[in-house]
């Protein structure tokens, strides 16, 4: 058995165990997952532009795909509620209509 393959297999299993631990964490904000996933995917983009070796980019892309799934799960299962509706545009600060007065305007 190749030593490189064994090391990659061990690294992959460690990543899976870490992801399992991350999924089971209950009181974490989904913004943490959004930030980690975004930074990883931006890093992959930079690595592609700098012609990093394919295996680095490939493995980080696979990890990134797992992180996207975890991120979506955490965002959708977050215990967030609001009393806003479509009329409020689902914003925390609803849009207030402003009346603009024109000075010295001659209308026809």
Q: What are the residue boundaries of the structural domains of the chain, listed by start?
A: 29-88
Taking residues 57-84, what's their average pLDDT? Answer: 85
Three-class secondary structure of residue 104 per DSSP: coil
**What confidence category does residue 1 fall into, taking pLDDT thresholds of 50, 70 and 90?**
very low
Q: What is the residue-wise DSSP string for 69-83?
A: HHHHHHHHT------
Q: Which of 66, 77, 63 is nearest to 25 (CA)?
A: 77
pTM equals 0.55
The residue with greater pLDDT, 108 or 60, is: 60
74 phi and psi, to 5 degrees? -65, -40
- pLDDT tens for each residue of 7-49: 666 666 666 667 666 666 666 778 888 888 899 889 999 989 9
- Spatial distance between the Cα atoms of 23 and 3, rounded to a whole number of angstroms: 30
- pLDDT tens for each residue of 71-96: 898 888 888 777 766 665 655 565 66
The residue with greater pLDDT, 88 or 67, is: 67
Q: Worst-scoring range by mean pLDDT, 51-55, 85-89, 101-105?
A: 85-89
């Amino acid at each position: 058995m190749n030593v490189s393959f064994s090391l990659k297999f061990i690294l992959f299993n460690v990543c899976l165990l870490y992801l399992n631990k991350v999924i089971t964490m209950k009181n974490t904000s989904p913004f943490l997952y959004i930030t980690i996933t975004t930074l990883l995917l931006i890093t992959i983009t930079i690595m592609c532009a700098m012609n990093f070796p394919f295996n680095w980019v490939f493995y980080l892309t696979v990890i990134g795909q797992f992180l996207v799934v975890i991120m979506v799960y955490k965002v959708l299962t977050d215990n967030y509620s609001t009393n806003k509706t479509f009329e409020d545009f689902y914003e925390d600060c609803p849009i207030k209509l402003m009346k603009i007065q024109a000075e010295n305007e001659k209308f026809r």
